[in-house]
Amino acid sequence: MRNGLSMTSRAEVTTGYAKVYVKASKKDKGRVLGQVVGVTGWSRDNARRRLASAAKRPPGGGRQVAKRGRKPRSPKYSYDAVKVPQRVWAACGGQCGKYL
C-alpha cells in the first residue's frame, strides 16, 4: 500500500476521476492526471492507462473472475491420421522423438 491507499480505494478513486477525465479537454486532462497521481502515487502513464480503461468498463459488478472459454481450435489432422503415428510410437517402445 503506497500512500496509505488500498487497491479497492484506488479503484474507487480511478472510477470517480475516469468520468471527468474522458469529458475533459486536453489541458484539463493534465490537471486530472496530476490529481490522480498525487492521490494514488502512480506514474502519470499508469494513471492515464487506468483512467482510460476505467472509463470503458461498465459501471458496477466489480471484477469478473471467470471469463467465457475460447472456442476450441479445429483439429489439424483427422482421427485416423493421428492413430497411425501413435501405433508406430507404441511399437517402438514409446521413445522420444530424438531416438524415434
Amino acid identity of 13? V
Q: What is the pLDDT of residues 33-90, one digit of tens each?
A: 999 999 888 999 999 999 988 888 776 665 555 667 788 899 999 999 999 999 988 9
Query: Rounded to the nearest 10 degrees, how much is the dihedral formed by the CA atoms of 69, 73, 74, 76?
Result: -160
Q: How many domains does the chain have?
A: 1
Answer yes or no: is 76 within a domain. Answer: no
CA distances to 31, 50, 58, 64, 65 from 61, rounded to whole Å, are 29, 17, 8, 8, 11
Of 50, 48, 47, residue with least CA distance to 39:
47
Rg (CA), the chain: 26
Q: What is the pLDDT of residues 10-33, one digit of tens each?
A: 778 888 888 889 888 999 999 999
Cell numbers found for residue 18: 475516469
Check residue 28 and give its pLDDT. Answer: 92
Does position 93 have pLDDT exceeding 90, yes or no? no
Answer yes or no: is 40 within a domain. Answer: yes
Answer yes or no: is 81 within a domain. Answer: no
Answer yes or no: is 12 within a domain. Answer: yes
Does position 100 have pLDDT exceeding 70, yes or no? no
Answer yes or no: is 20 within a domain. Answer: yes
Answer yes or no: is 42 within a domain. Answer: yes
Answer yes or no: is 69 within a domain. Answer: no
**Domain extent for 38:** 7-56
**How many residues belong to the chain?**
100
Query: Does the predicted model carry a pTM greater than 0.75?
Result: no
Answer yes or no: is 67 within a domain. Answer: no
